[in-house]
């Protein structure tokens, strides 16, 4: 009895020592997953992110957190899927089964080589240059996702010429055969991606963007390519943040996040691999940085950004991902991938325990059968798991097939060289390099896979839009493509209506340094700022800008003028000084009125030709002067109406000749008066001049000289019909061009010279004792003539358009009216209104009184 009681007590107290806590399974990290086969392929997958705590504790240390990467877990599933698919394929490695070694590799630089050493030695401890495996070595190692990880491992494997295939983004350094003679890359080149990103910016008119890059050789090359493309397409960079290639050190650097937040750029390009820029993705999620559109290079592991389930900072992001066709068999594989089929997969057991209420069997952390029925990975939340194959998983799939095809070729060669062999692969791993470097094949999707970097083609891209719709359920929707091989202008295709924009944007986001300059304005650069930052300046006179954001305004053709808004050129109206115009009607009326008035004065002088006042002033010269003045008043009619070559020539020549006759007549009258009072002075010459009527020859001589000047003018550079499109806004003025300006001024100067001679003669005879002496009136008329034409010259050169014609016509009328008014109006007044002063006795009495006064003096 006591023995049974003791046994019961012992067992009851023994249970706590063996009690199992399921939380131990979550702290456990599985570093190795193995399946045996005739040939083994190993892969090193970074399944964890190690992130240090932001705050420092009292001991001065930071606590490190470990985050499981579900995206990297998909790499391992793609790896296993490819292995199993090849084993079922009778055309690749027949009668040979592929096994695998799957290791977790740390992304930090100080223990990256731990997993490769474990793979090479086959033990739980790292012993360089020793192999403790009972089974065969792995034929090749698959590495990724970042280039530093592959490079660190590659330098180790290069010592043994061990085949290595990288499934991360293509990197030029890894293609250096001097450093990595046995390293191959599956991913296509990204040389055209910079062009695609800039085309995306231009498509949405984003000219003010920020750049976040890795501070390494890749970042420098990408920055150079992007800046070159942006400069060629007038896209400006608001800021450039170069991130250290150490995820842990950057995670606590808030300066970059602060720079992004204060920047006026609403679009930020994040370009780099998943490993190096994982920290900034975490910070973007934690800081809830909305109102920004993120343009990403790769399909980031967004499952780590789950702190704010409903508020997603990355909602609306645009992602450039290598184009690949989805494998339906891969989705079926994931749907059937469960702990019962793969009990050794520790991570799969954790997922089943967390999401499907399955319990662990014990310290081995294997799942018991008490789970929900018919569960699969497909049922996991989309924010934690993604069913579609990512581009890195696609590269893993192709990498396994590349090794398998190389092994197949090597097996065929061995069979040919050693027919008596059993068909197994018995060669050393480094011999596989001869086949890997020439491998190229078409995968199940029909895409060509080439490992030789010299023969690789530029990748084609799918443009994905990250949706957090319905709220909290992330999904990536394909909204466009970029194909560098497409014809120019058709490389980028986007379905704009499918794009969901970032939180805070209700319409297409704008990301510009300066607002657009509307038509009618042009861009004016701001000193010291990029070309995308500018002021909007109104276009100069008669220039337009008919598009938005024009650098330069366009001058309207001479036949057009700019409208008020200066965004369109209008046809100018052709005009000239017409009879219908108010100005033309006024000039015509004045010309005809003065011409009729002059004819009336001529009629008065003819009617009263026998009176003393008419006889005393040389009737012949008076008639010539009045007839000439009549035509001078009619001369302005040649300046009115549509100009032609004949009227242009007649305008100036008629004006010059008629005024020459008029002024030379006045000069002849003045000379006659002076000579008449010098007849009493002894001298035969004076008498001969008076008796021979020599003064009458002044008119033809002066006129002949003017005709010579006009002839020279018309023969060298005659006036012609011209158009003036600039003097008046919106008008093209048809007018006569003087031709030779020198000739015009010479003709005008000659007229002034004759007028000066007349004025001199009149001034000399101003005090002669003649009852009807008109010297004073001639002097005054010449002063008017000088005043008019001297004033005309500066006004003529400063006036434009029809006013030039009007000024010349006005000068002709005024100078003609001056001659008529000063010389003939006083005489007509006496003839018509004071006839008693026109009697002979009045003339004699006035003459005697003047003589007496002269003798008395």
Band of pLDDT at residue 302, cut at 50, 70 and 90: low
**Nearest partner of 660 among 633, 694, 620, 629, judged by Cα:** 629
In this model, does residue 198 exceed pLDDT 90?
yes
Summarize the confidence of residues 676-684 as an average pLDDT: 53
Pairing of strands 720-724, 573-575: unpaired
* 833 or 19, which is more confident: 833
| pLDDT for res 253 | 57
The H or E element that residue 735 is part of is: strand 731-737
Q: Mean pLDDT check: name the lowest of 270-274, 545-549, 681-685.
A: 681-685
| pLDDT for res 593 | 93
In this model, does residue 1 exceed pLDDT 60?
no
Whole-prediction pTM value? 0.70
Domains of the chain: 23-189+327-450 (3.40.50.2300), 193-325+458-498 (3.40.50.2300), 521-571 (no CATH), 582-856 (1.20.1070.10)
Summarize the confidence of residues 550-570 as an average pLDDT: 90
Q: Which residues are within 8 A (CB) of 350 and not within 5 positions of it... i.e. 6 or more apart?
A: 25, 26, 68, 365
In this model, does residue 762 exceed pLDDT 90?
no
In this model, does residue 75 exceed pLDDT 70?
yes
* 486 or 114, which is more confident: 486
| pLDDT for res 116 | 81
| pLDDT for res 388 | 82
Burial label for 47, CB within 10 Å (0-12, 13-18, 19+), is buried
Q: Mean pLDDT check: name the lowest of 199-203, 438-442, 578-582, 696-700.
A: 696-700
The partner residues of 119 in beta bridges, in order of sequence, read none
DSSP 70-124: HHHHHHHHHHHHHHHHHHH-SSSSTT--EEEEEEE--SSGGGTTHHHHHHHH-SS
**pLDDT tens digit sequence for 413-443:** 887 776 665 556 666 888 899 899 889 899 9
**Nearest partner of 499 among 453, 525, 464, 526, judged by Cα:** 464
For residues 262 and 623, what is the distance between their CA atoms, to the nearest angstrom?
Answer: 94
The partner residues of 104 in beta bridges, in order of sequence, read 45
For residues 530 and 535, what is the distance between their CA atoms, to the nearest angstrom?
Answer: 12
* 416 or 53, which is more confident: 416
Instruction: Give alpha helix (H) positions in 170-320.
Output: 193-203, 217-232, 247-251, 255-262, 278-287
The partner residues of 538 in beta bridges, in order of sequence, read 521
Band of pLDDT at residue 363, cut at 50, 70 and 90: confident
Q: Mean pLDDT check: name the lowest of 11-25, 317-331, 730-744.
A: 11-25
In this model, does residue 254 exceed pLDDT 80?
no
Tokens 């010579």: give the residue. Answer: 708
Summarize the confidence of residues 822-835 as an average pLDDT: 84
| pLDDT for res 795 | 82
Number of other CB atoms surrounding residue 212 within 10 Å: 23
In this model, does residue 495 exceed pLDDT 90?
yes
Residue 722's SS3 state is strand
For residues 593 and 297, what is the distance between their CA atoms, to the nearest angstrom?
Answer: 89
| pLDDT for res 6 | 43
The percent of residues above 90 in pLDDT, for the chain, comes to 25
For residues 266 and 513, what is the distance between their CA atoms, to the nearest angstrom?
Answer: 10
| pLDDT for res 17 | 36
Q: Mean pLDDT check: name the lowest of 42-46, 445-449, 501-505, 738-742.
A: 501-505
| pLDDT for res 829 | 85
Band of pLDDT at residue 232, cut at 50, 70 and 90: very high
């Amino acid at each position: 009895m006591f023995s049974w009681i003791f046994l019961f007590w012992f067992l009851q107290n023994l249970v706590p020592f063996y009690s199992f806590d399921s939380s131990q399974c979550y702290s456990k990290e599985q570093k190795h997953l193995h399946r045996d086969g005739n040939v083994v392929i190993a892969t090193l997958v970074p399944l964890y992110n190690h992130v240090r705590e932001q705050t420092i504790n009292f001991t001065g240390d930071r606590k490190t957190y470990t985050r499981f990467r579900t995206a990297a877990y998909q790499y391992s599933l793609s790896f296993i899927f490819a292995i199993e698919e090849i084993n079922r394929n009778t055309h690749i490695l027949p009668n040979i089964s592929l096994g695998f070694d799957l290791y977790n590799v740390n992304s930090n630089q100080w223990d990256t080589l731990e997993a490769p050493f474990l793979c090479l030695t086959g033990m739980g401890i790292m012993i360089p240059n020793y192999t403790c495996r009972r089974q065969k070595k792995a034929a090749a190692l698959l590495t990724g996702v970042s280039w530093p990880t592959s490079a660190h491992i590659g330098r180790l494997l290069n010592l043994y010429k061990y085949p290595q295939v990288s499934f991360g983004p293509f990197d030029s350094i890894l293609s250096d055969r001097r450093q990595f003679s046995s390293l191959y890359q599956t991913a296509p080149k990204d040389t055209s991606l910079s062009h695609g990103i800039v085309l995306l910016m231009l498509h949405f008119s984003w000219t003010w963007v920020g750049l976040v890059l890795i501070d390494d050789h890749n970042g420098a090359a990408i920055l150079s390519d992007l800046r070159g493309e942006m400069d060629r397409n007038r896209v400006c960079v608001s800021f450039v943040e170069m991130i250290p290639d150490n995820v842990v050190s950057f995670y606590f650097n808030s300066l970059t996040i602060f720079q992004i937040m204060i920047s006026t750029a609403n679009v930020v390009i994040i370009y780099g691999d998943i490993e190096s820029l994982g920290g900034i993705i975490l910070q973007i999620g934690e800081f809830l940085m909305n109102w920004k559109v993120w343009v990403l290079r790769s399909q980031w592991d967004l499952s780590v950004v789950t702190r704010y389930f409903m508020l997603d900072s990355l909602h609306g992001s645009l992602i450039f991902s290598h184009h690949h066709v989805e494998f339906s068999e891969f989705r079926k594989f994931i749907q059937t991938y469960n702990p019962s089929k793969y009990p050794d997969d520790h991570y799969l057991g954790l997922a089943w325990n967390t999401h499907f209420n399955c319990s662990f069997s014990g310290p081995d952390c294997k799942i018991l059968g008490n789970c929900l029925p018919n569960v699969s990975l497909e049922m996991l939340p989309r924010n934690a798991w993604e069913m579609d194959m990512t581009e890195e998983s696609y590269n893993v799939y192709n990498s396994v097939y590349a090794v398998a095809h190389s092994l197949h070729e090597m097996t065929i060669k061995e069979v040919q060289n050693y027919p008596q062999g059993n068909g197994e692969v018995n060669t050393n791993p480094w011999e596989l390099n001869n086949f890997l470097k020439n491998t190229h094949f078409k995968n199940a999707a029909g895409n060509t896979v080439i490992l030789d970097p010299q023969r690789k083609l530029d990748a084609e891209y799918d443009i994905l839009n990250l949706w957090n719709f319905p709220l909290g359920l992330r999904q990536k929707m394909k909204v466009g493509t970029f194909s560098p091989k497409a014809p120019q202008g058709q490389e980028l295709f986007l379905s704009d209506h499918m794009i969901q924009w970032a939180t805070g944007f209700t319409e297409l986001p704008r990301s510009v340094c300066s607002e657009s300059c509307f038509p009618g304005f042009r861009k004016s650069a701001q000193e010291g700022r990029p070309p995308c930052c500018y002021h909007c300046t109104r276009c100069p006179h008669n220039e337009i800008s008919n598009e938005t954001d024009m650098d330069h305004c366009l001058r309207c053709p001479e036949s057009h003028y700019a409208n008020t808004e200066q965004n369109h050129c209008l046809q100018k109206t052709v005009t000239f000084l017409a009879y219908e115009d108010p100005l033309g009607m006024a000039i015509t009326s004045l010309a005809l009125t003065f011409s009729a008035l002059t004819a009336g004065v001529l009629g008065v002088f003819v009617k009263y030709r026998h009176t003393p006042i008419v006889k005393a002033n040389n009737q012949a010269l008076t008639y010539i002067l009045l007839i000439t003045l009549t035509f001078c008043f009619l001369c302005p009619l040649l300046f009115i109406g549509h100009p032609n070559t004949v009227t242009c020539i007649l305008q100036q020549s008629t004006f010059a000749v008629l005024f020459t006759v008029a002024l030379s007549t006045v000069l002849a009258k003045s000379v006659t008066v002076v000579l008449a009072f010098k007849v009493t002075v002894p001298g035969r010459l004076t008498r001969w001049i008076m008796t021979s009527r020599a003064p009458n020859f002044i008119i033809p001589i002066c006129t002949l000289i003017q005709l010579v000047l006009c002839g020279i003018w018309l023969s060298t550079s005659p006036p012609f019909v011209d158009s003036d499109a600039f003097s008046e806004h919106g008008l093209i003025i048809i007018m006569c061009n003087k031709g030779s300006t020198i000739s015009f001024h010479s003709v005008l100067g000659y007229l002034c010279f004759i007028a000066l001679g007349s004025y001199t003669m009149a001034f000399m005879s101003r005090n002669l004792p003649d009852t009807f002496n008109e010297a004073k009136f001639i002097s005054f008329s010449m002063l008017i003539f000088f005043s008019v034409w001297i004033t005309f010259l500066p006004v003529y050169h400063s006036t434009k358009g029809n006013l030039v014609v009007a000024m010349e016509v006005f000068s002709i009328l005024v100078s003609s009216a001056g001659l008529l008014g000063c010389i003939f109006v006083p005489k007509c007044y006496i003839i018509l209104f004071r006839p008693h002063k026109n009697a002979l006795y009045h003339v004699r009495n006035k003459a005697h009184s003047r003589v007496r006064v002269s003798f008395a003096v």
